[in-house]
């Protein structure tokens, strides 16, 4: 394939505004459309957002360190995307069903998935990690964009059953170039299914900049399907929370699917197998470091006159506790039995699967007999 230069690409200005409720200094900016969705949020709620994001960042850093130490096979960092994940998932209802990609660690954790269960898949100790029906979130999807189809189908089922839940699909900007995401938008729009498509535009589809794959805003693509769309500052936890509340209400009340583009930035690597210094400049990284979502919320609490130090200490204590318990759980996690590879493949007894299991166990037994 020819190499396409992005040096002279001019991205057309999108028609949707980018909602921001907190500027980088932590000051509230009025937003006529979204402000009322923050009604009822207290200072304690903001402190909880801070705790969640600090704990999530620590979980991410700990997982990266564990991978470097050989305890995990791979990890997909989310550094810089804490507000996009915490702000959105905290706006959902417990009965809304979420379909994440491989980077929504914070969404899963906030839904009640234990950190060690989340990391067990990346360690190779289990094939899934948790029971989706216990926490109403599917296991992480590695295949790019396929979870959007799962969410569309689930949302269609909600509509046919007359339910009030919403199916939520998370994916990155790169997934919007996949057929699965576009087909999911077609089906959801055609059936007016209660689905929220949540795109974290972190500026990079692995090593390719978003400008290469989309000559306009990602949000404009969704509008082309006739889907109600919002574009928000993804490093502003209040803007993300409010927009998600608005999008969920729209879908929940039978008005059709919705789409959110949360404009953020992947501060780390695509995965721990990636070297981002090969394709991005330090100047861009420094620009986004100044927009750090945690710092922004701390600044806002300071503007409010809150006891920021106590909130930060509470968050740090929670992060330290999680890190300690997570490291102990992972380093002491037993390897799976070989037979587990064949479990939960089919809901009922399946002859070929059973015979494959028997043959494989006999194959392994031959090695044990030889050693004996």
| Measured distance CA(151)–CA(216) in Å, rounded | 25
**DSSP character at residue 12:** P
| Measured distance CA(86)–CA(90) in Å, rounded | 6
CA distances for 147 relative to 101, 110, 337, angstroms: 7, 19, 29
Is residue 177 within 8 A of residue 249, CB to CB? The reply is: no
Q: Which residue out of 105, 270, 296, 300 is catalytically annotated? A: 270
| Secondary structure (3-state) at 193 | coil
Tell which residue, 143, 104, 84, 90, has the closest CA to residue 265: 84
266 is catalytic: yes
Q: What is the DSSP code string of 219-232?
A: HHHHHTTT-EEEEE
Helix axes 293-303, 82-89, angle to 10 degrees: 70
CA distances for 166 relative to 96, 152, 205, angstroms: 5, 10, 27
CA distances for 268 relative to 60, 110, 272, angstroms: 10, 21, 9
**DSSP character at residue 235:** T
In this structure, the strands spanning 208-209 and 204-205 are antiparallel
Tell which residue, 158, 157, 184, has the closest CA to residue 169: 184
Q: Which residue out of 111, 266, 296, 300 is catalytically annotated? A: 266
Is residue 67 within 8 A of residue 272, CB to CB? The reply is: yes
Q: Which residue out of 93, 279, 346, 355 is catalytically annotated? A: 279
270 is catalytic: yes
Q: Which residues are catalytic?
A: 266, 270, 279
């Amino acid at each position: 394939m020819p190499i396409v230069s992005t040096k002279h690409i001019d991205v057309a200005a999108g028609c949707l505004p980018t909602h921001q409720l907190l500027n980088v200094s932590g000051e509230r900016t009025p937003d006529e459309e979204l402000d009322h969705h923050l009604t009822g949020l207290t200072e304690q709620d903001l402190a909880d957002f801070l705790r969640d994001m600090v704990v999530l960042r620590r979980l991410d850093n700990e997982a990266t360190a564990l991978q470097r130490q050989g305890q995990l096979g791979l990890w997909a960092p989310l550094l810089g995307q804490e507000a996009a994940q915490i702000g959105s998932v905290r706006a959902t209802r417990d009965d809304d069903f979420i379909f994440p990609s491989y980077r929504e660690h914070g969404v899963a954790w906030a839904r009640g998935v234990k950190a060690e269960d989340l990391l067990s898949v990346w360690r190779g100790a289990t094939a899934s990690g948790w029971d989706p029906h216990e926490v109403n979130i599917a296991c992480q999807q590695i295949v790019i964009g396929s979870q959007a189809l799962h969410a569309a189908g689930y949302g269609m089922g909600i509509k046919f059953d007359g339910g009030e839940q919403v199916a939520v699909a998370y994916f990155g900007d790169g997934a919007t170039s996949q057929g699965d995401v576009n087909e999911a938008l077609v089906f959801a729009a055609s059936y007016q299914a209660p689905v929220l498509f949540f795109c974290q535009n972190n500026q990079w589809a692995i090593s390719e900049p978003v400008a290469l794959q989309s000559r306009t805003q990602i949000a404009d693509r969704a509008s082309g399907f006739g889907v109600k769309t919002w574009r928000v500052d993804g490093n502003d936890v209040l803007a993300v929370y409010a927009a998600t509340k608005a999008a969920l209400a729209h879908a929940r009340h039978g008005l059709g699917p919705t789409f959110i583009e949360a404009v953020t930035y992947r501060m780390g690597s695509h995965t721990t197998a990636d070297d981002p210094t090969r394709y991005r400049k330090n100047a861009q990284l420094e620009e986004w470091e100044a927009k750090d979502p945690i710092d922004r919320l701390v600044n806002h609490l300071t503007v409010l006159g809150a006891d920021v130090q106590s909130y930060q200490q509470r968050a740090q204590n929670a992060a330290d506790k999680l890190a300690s318990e997570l490291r102990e759980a992972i380093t002491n996690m037993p390897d799976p039995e070989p037979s587990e590879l064949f479990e939960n493949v089919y809901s009922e007894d399946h002859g070929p699967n059973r015979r494959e299991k028997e043959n494989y166990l006999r194959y392994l037994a031959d090695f044990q007999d030889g050693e004996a």
